[in-house]
Amino acid sequence: MKQRIRIYGDEVLRKTASDVKNIDRNIAKLIKNMRDTMKSAGGIGLAATQVGVLANVFLALDKDRDRIITAINPRLEDINGKEIDVEGCLSFPEIYIYIERASKVVLKALDEQSKEFIIEAKGLLARCIQHEIDHLHGRLIIDYASDAEKEFWKEKLDQLQKK
């Protein structure tokens, strides 16, 4: 079932998610609904906070392996390198910000079967993982924007906050 993606200005986007204690039917349903929502929105990642749920869960599209990674209670174990690229966000429709992020990350998390996994990601997947973990900590792409970018997007940001 598709869920409503929360847009910039919604206070839930600034909240910190809590670790999932028990991967039960409710979490399984949340993940299924997040998958449907992400696919229907054409996104490459989605954090639970973006659908109004304060659970440490995110999804990320791994295009190289043609799969969606489900990460529960994610932690970055290692980060390396730096690269600047433009990012969009389903919670910031039609807004794009240049952000410096690590070019490689090592992610440790639980999957839907409560099994721990570790993956090394680079490029777009590494960027997506960092972006979604930011969401789980209440950090948004606008927090990385330069003053010039904030000014450039001011009108659109103001419109989003009024919705």
Active site residues: 132
Phi, psi of 79 (to 5 degrees): -135, 140
* Amino acid type, 134: D
Beta strands, E only, 7-132: 45-47, 57-62, 67-80, 83-89, 92-101, 104-110, 116-122
Both structure tokens of 143: 């927090």
